[in-house]
Structure 1
Amino acid sequence: MVLKVSNASNVREVIRYYRQPGSRLGYRLFLNGTKHFGFYRSTDSPWAWSKALRRMEDRMGETLAQPAGARVLDAGCGVGDVAGRLAGRFGLRVHGVDLLDAHVAQARRRARRRNLDHLLTFSHSDYAALDFPDESFDAVYTMETLVHAADAEAVLKQFHRVLRPGGRLVMFEYAREAATRMPTPAADMFRQLNDWAAMPSFQRFTYGTLERLTAEAGFSVRGVEDISRGMWPMLRCFAVIGTLPGAGFRAARLRRHSVNTLSAVEFWRHRAFWRYEIHTADKVRTAGS
């Protein structure tokens, strides 16, 4: 059984994770601050990171399937790159929320540089306690952020509340094999790294769990797509880069302070036991809505 953690303590841990030097420098150095994986075609170079990132963002826009001008919530927006792509290419009006004020400030700066201020807004907020009125959005999405939630059920209820009837929910998230169905070293690795990276919901999201929780929150689940092989090239690049430093951090007993490096190496090594999935659901229309 995986126990839930309190939201307040988890928020502190998520902020700590993203503020630690390894996270700040790593994301900036390799991905220009973007905090999600890329999606590859078979002919792509695995090192063509920017191209893969934009393609993953395009997959989000295509899966949301909203007309230009639709109002969309980015739950855990980071520095706003996904929102910027959805606004610039798909014409969506996106409001992003994030726990880190530094992320929100950076997202606003990037929106201004892209001349997308008229489509993009951002605020410092917890998506587990949204302050938007009911039925405020045509669509809601997460891009590798629900795994950080302390209480995924509470978050999904918030998403359901702020979506209009018939609105679309799309979540690009991780899921894993049950601990009893993987070797002990792999199970121990998931438990330890999910703790250090403040991802309690990834620890909970064994295969099928997120689909069940989404349905229990009142959504009609449209489907789940495993796109792991499309993101593996980037993960493998990070594993190659991190192998030598990771060994050094282990030797120096600094593993907790190098969680991103170790995650790249270990999640690649144990890739048979987890997936990168696209979850799509709709808020059910009720009579009269």
Structure 2
Amino acid sequence: MCRYRPGWQGADVSNVREVIRYYRQPGSRLGYRLFLNGTKHFGFYHEKDSPWAWSKALRRMEDRMGETLAQPPGARVLDAGCGVGDVAGRLAGRFGLRIDGVDLLEAHVAQARRRARRRGLDHLLTFSHSDYAALDFPDESFDAVYTMETLVHAADAEAVLRQFHRVLKPGGRLVMFEYGRETAARMPTPAAEAFRQLNDWAAMPSFQRFTYGTLERLTAETGFRVRHVEDVSRSMWPMLRCFAVIGALPYAGFRAAGLQRQFVNTMSAVEFWRHRAFWRYEIHTADK
């Protein structure tokens, strides 16, 4: 059972519960473990890669994060929504960064610590059970902050961005690998309804808000200097297509039985691939 700590006064407790519910439901736990060994982000592909080479693609996406952060070895970096610590482990092992990871789920934090010990990276990796909307770190603690497909779960993205700005040192870098989407008015009705349901059931209220340009605007409004936004959707699509192929038949059965919410990851694989023209995978880079 997750315990809400007194330091989380700024957190939207209802949304925290929904995020925890999403990650703890059997479909999420089984799917992430079975297909991605617990990792919870997409991969990055080169043109001639096999779409089924998932591990290689996952590590390449993590390397893209390290390259975009552009920090020297020993820099202190915040992983906001660390999951089981695979991104942090790659950044520590390959780039020599000192990572503090925070996550809402105690089970994720425990697993991240176990993986850090197995990799011999305890001296570079620290994980804690915390909410990135109410960080416990002092002002100007970090050289860089990143999210890897986690800000979409925020109930109040502006509050989170203000926390990131507070804990970053002057000149520090913020990198966010996040999703953006078309406005509902510019989507066919089935696509708009699919996004609405998926963002509700997968506890992604900020993805529902992040129409194109919104995250850049919020980042600037919270005091950051936006450097670059890159659309890398086509380099992510091969993994999404694999998931859609795997999920097509089960999704048809879940849909007939009215069980989409219980198996929302299967639904998301099929529907996000079907409606891929209406959303993007973006890399946002900004400085304090």
**TM-score, normalization: structure 1?**
0.96
Give 2:208's match in structure 1, choosing from 179, 198, 203: 203
Aligned to 1:102: 107
- Determine helix, strand or coil for the equivalent of 2:147: strand
Aligned to 2:272: 267
Moved over 2 A (4+): none
Measured on the aligned residues, the alpha-carbon RMSD in Å equals 0.5
Residue 202 of structure 1 aligns with an amino acid whose one-letter code is: F
Deviations 1:17-42 (A, max 9, x none): 00000000000000000000000000
* Structure 2, gaps ≥5 residues long: 1-10
Distance 2:245 2:99 in 1: 35
Pair 1:120-2:91 in alignment: no
Residue 51 (structure 1) shift: 0.1
* Structure 1, gaps ≥5 residues long: 1-5, 284-289
Distance 1:175 1:282 in 2: 20
Distance 1:106 1:225 in 2: 31
Residue 177 (structure 1) shift: 0.1
Residue 161 of structure 1 aligns with an amino acid whose one-letter code is: R
Distance 2:139 2:150 in 1: 22
Deviations 1:138-159 (A, max 9, x none): 0000000000000000000000
Distance 1:183 1:212 in 2: 26
Distance 1:244 1:42 in 2: 28
Aligned to 1:3: none
- Determine helix, strand or coil for the equivalent of 1:169: strand
- Determine helix, strand or coil for the equivalent of 2:263: helix
Give 2:116's match in structure 1, choosing from 104, 111, 117: 111
Q: How does 1:159-174 map to 2 (within 5 A)?
A: 159-174=164-179
Aligned to 1:186: 191
Residue 255 (structure 1) shift: 0.9
Residue 150 of structure 1 aligns with an amino acid whose one-letter code is: A
Residue 218 (structure 1) shift: 0.1
Name the stretch that deviates more: 45-54 or 251-260. 251-260
Give 1:143's match in structure 2, choosing from 142, 148, 161: 148
Residue 8 (structure 1) shift: 1.0
Distance 1:75 1:109 in 2: 19
Give 2:245's match in structure 1, choosing from 226, 237, 240: 240
Distance 1:207 1:186 in 2: 16
Distance 2:136 2:255 in 1: 43
Residue 165 (structure 1) shift: 0.1
Give 2:21's match in structure 1, choosing from 16, 29, 32: 16
Deviations 1:153-182 (A, max 9, x none): 000000000000000000000000000011
Distance 2:186 2:261 in 1: 26
Residue 235 of structure 2 aligns with an amino acid whose one-letter code is: G
Q: How does 1:55-134 map to 2 (within 5 A)?
A: 55-134=60-139
Distance 1:87 1:252 in 2: 45
Aligned to 2:6: none
**Number of residues paired by the alignment?**
278
Give 1:50's match in structure 2, choosing from 30, 51, 55: 55
Distance 2:94 2:168 in 1: 23
Deviations 1:205-234 (A, max 9, x none): 000000000000000000100000000000
Residue 7 (structure 1) shift: 1.3
Distance 1:141 1:215 in 2: 16
Residue 58 (structure 1) shift: 0.1
